[in-house]
Structure 1
């Protein structure tokens, strides 16, 4: 599938002209290393925006530049019409929640949450009221007198979140906030963060390496590569309509096959497999790439419009699904994911078995070569 767009963000995903966060031409350099390369980005007001990318892509540097911990050599950072570029961190209406939480172990939970308010000179009475409101917000009523060491990891995470929200920032930055939590707590806290953002009505910018986290939490995602935005869009747009091979493989790990698209835009010849497939959405004619999501592929004589032959080389059990590896005739490996709604026995395919892999036309994602 392709849209034929050359832009990094679809028009329907563009940020409004007023309000929210605007980053224009921001460049940050660490010695000879260009960490942010003239980056442009618009985050909408009241949006949960996720920055997704590999190590060294510039995610954390961008977060630090917004917070004021890094000074860009060029560019502007504007929040709700206010240019933050020259303001020190403590004068920006922005708070950051770090991966380590950085709670003060000698202070109570209430004192930790109220720390930023005291630094701002807020009265004791107002601080107590705000701390009580934050404890209620993160569902920790009655925990104000405890020390952080008396809390679970998930509870410490909520205290750190309450402390970040207590001064009423216009923008909250979150740097891998769930990485220290086990799987069960991660799932619970994802839902909690989405709930809080909706109830507070402020913008969240969250950095993560976790694709599932990004896809399930974000209003929109920015995929970063080499200090730039490779593509920005809703989770479904990035997954279903990646702009190039990098995004297709990074978000969802698509299978990629070289192809030649016919003059009609929907005939997709796969020279290495000796077959011609058909796409539902036209792409530009000529050499290209066919991306196929593993969960859209099916094994067996299902009489799909699009089919290739191969041999099973292995299976990996993942609880709710089975990942099957199929070697095609040219040696290319396809990853096929089968759900286990009917049990493992119904999906298990023995290594060495000759199989047919099929997919519907609307599973074809056509990319530039």
Structure 2
């Protein structure tokens, strides 16, 4: 798969604040690439720089090997869907979708055909004569998406497109985005701070921190093999324990025990990462085990989140699946338990 977008050495400053720091990134053709990061990580600044709304002080932005860095937004074959949707309240749905086409001088006949095609694409046939105020949040989101897609951009940028929707609607709309991207065959770059959203839609994810890429990879690569403590903690619930690595043997000095990893790590001091859902309480036959006391537990519908305090004062979070109901999964605070896991659950990270 060849690259559509290449960002190299991009630096953006707001006064003395460094928003992007020599950032490099590639996005392939027909790829849904997700920029994931916390507030202030630089993900929206990067999106706006690609769209042309922010001018970098250093670096280049190439689309199909054409340098876009100095071009204004209207001259880039790129469209951006904003977090607020920014629909025109005085216009109908059809007029909102047609807005960009009119500015490009497209004929009325072609505009009508394109608007009808876009309404069908986002499953809003028959809504063309309505105003935005008469639509639900999910419907407004789809109108904004249709307007962004109407001019047939080669790259679509989406800034937190699902943030205004409730949880159930977010889930449905995530599936719609994946369907649309596949049916259209164009590349999407989507910004979010929601890890579940990123894992659910992305072909690849770029985790951002302090204006740089902390790690880029597929959802499986990032979740199973995080590059460091930051990525492990940002993408999923990860317990982190200090350790000393010697091949597949992992000593936990503060607990006075050694455990086994399925994969060897870099010899010396490091960190052991353990996903909360891969730990078990009270199960027999697990290779690795430590003892602790239940500090508290919280019911979350599909899982029970249990905090177990170890002898050195550190705490392990264990997520117990409730596929068979609460029943045997319930544990009382103050009870001494064994927490176990298999060697395949060990993630060995740099110190």
Give the TM-score taking structure 2 as reference length. Answer: 0.99
Contact 1:297 1:357 in 2 (8 A): yes
Secondary structure of 2:233 counterpart: helix
1:241 matches 2:225: yes
How far the C-alpha of 1:303 sits from its partner, in A, is 2.7
1:330 matches 2:312: yes
1:116 matches 2:100: yes
Q: How does 1:54-203 map to 2 (within 5 A)?
A: 54-203=38-187
1:313 matches 2:295: yes
Q: 1:361 is matched with which residue?
A: 343
Rounded to whole Å, the distance in 1 between the matches of 2:49 and 2:324 is 50
1:258 matches 2:258: no
Secondary structure of 1:141 counterpart: coil
Contact 1:19 1:81 in 2 (8 A): no
Contact 2:157 2:189 in 1 (8 A): yes
Rounded to whole Å, the distance in 1 between the matches of 2:8 and 2:211 is 13
Could you tell me which of 12, 22, 30 is aligned with 1:46? 30
Rounded to whole Å, the distance in 2 between the matches of 1:154 and 1:225 is 30
Report the count of equivalent residues: 351
Contact 1:300 1:357 in 2 (8 A): yes
Q: Which runs of 4+ in 1 moved over 6 A?
A: none
Q: Deviations over 1:74-107 (max 9, x none)?
A: 1000011211101100000000001110101111
Q: Deviations over 1:326-363 (max 9, x none)?
A: 00000001000010012102100000000000000000
How far the C-alpha of 1:152 sits from its partner, in A, is 0.6
1:342 matches 2:324: yes
Secondary structure of 2:110 counterpart: helix
The answer for unaligned runs of 5 or more in structure 1 is 1-15
Q: Deviations over 1:132-160 (max 9, x none)?
A: 00000000001101111111110000000
Rounded to whole Å, the distance in 2 between the matches of 1:270 and 1:44 is 42
Name the Cα RMSD after superposition: 0.7
Q: 1:289 is matched with which residue?
A: 271
Rounded to whole Å, the distance in 1 between the matches of 2:3 and 2:202 is 19
Contact 1:261 1:285 in 2 (8 A): yes
Could you tell me which of 244, 262, 265 is aligned with 1:280? 262
How far the C-alpha of 1:301 sits from its partner, in A, is 4.3
Contact 1:20 1:45 in 2 (8 A): yes
Rounded to whole Å, the distance in 2 between the matches of 1:346 and 1:161 is 46
How far the C-alpha of 1:238 sits from its partner, in A, is 0.3
The answer for unaligned runs of 5 or more in structure 2 is none
